[in-house]
Amino acid sequence: ELRRQATDLATTTEQHRQTETRLRDNEAYFQSLVESLPQNIFRKDLNGRFTFVNGAFCRTVKRHKSQLIGVTDFDLFPEELSRRYVEDDRLVISTGNALEKTEVNVTPDGQRHWFHVIKTLLLDASGQPVGLQGSFWEVTQEKRIEEQLAQERDLLHALLEHAPDAIYFK
């Protein structure tokens, strides 16, 4: 009987060790993936405190990870932006629906920058909300190109509408 119990214990211990190894490997794979992405990735708890940020996020806000964990948007961004971010967070948390949008932010010197933002509810293993997670990336160049194309399209349309000669395309 003791021999069987010892064998069972050894088997259980080996299974536990293998499970721990798989968990560590999965965590390493996750970290590698998230750190290699060019998008800014973050997680916040239900109180709006950052619990995770990737390297791209750190570079964007020009702070080390150790300076970001536990802080809120109000510690990082101007008040107007922070209020908007918190409103979006509350919407995601209260509805459980993902939020996806492109927003413009104006720097203190008047420059406009566009960002594409995705935020989703973060659930624990039992399905209970524990916060939210999100990613964002700058799309300023794409927006400026869209604006230029729209402006050129409008100019061409105005020219075609008001030209004294008949113009057609074949």
- 3-state class (DSSP) for residue 162: helix
User: Averaged over 64-71, what is the pLDDT?
Assistant: 96
Could you count the other beta carbons within 10 Å of the beta carbon of residue 85? 21
Q: For residue range 45-58, list pLDDT tens digits in order.
A: 999 999 999 999 99
**Mean confidence (pLDDT) of the chain:** 89
Enter the tokens of residue 40: 């800014």
Query: What phi-psi label fits residue 118: left (phi over 0), alpha (psi between -120 and 50 degrees) or beta?
Result: beta
Query: How far is the CA of 101 from the CAs of 77, 90, 139, in angstroms?
Result: 19, 15, 11
| pLDDT value at 168 more than 80 | no
User: Averaged over 29-47, what is the pLDDT?
Assistant: 89
| pLDDT value at 167 more than 80 | no
Could you count the other beta carbons within 10 Å of the beta carbon of residue 1? 5
User: Averaged over 31-49, what is the pLDDT?
Assistant: 91
Structure letter (DSSP) for residue 68 = T
Q: For residue range 97-112, list pLDDT tens digits in order.
A: 999 999 988 777 788 8
| pLDDT value at 169 more than 80 | no
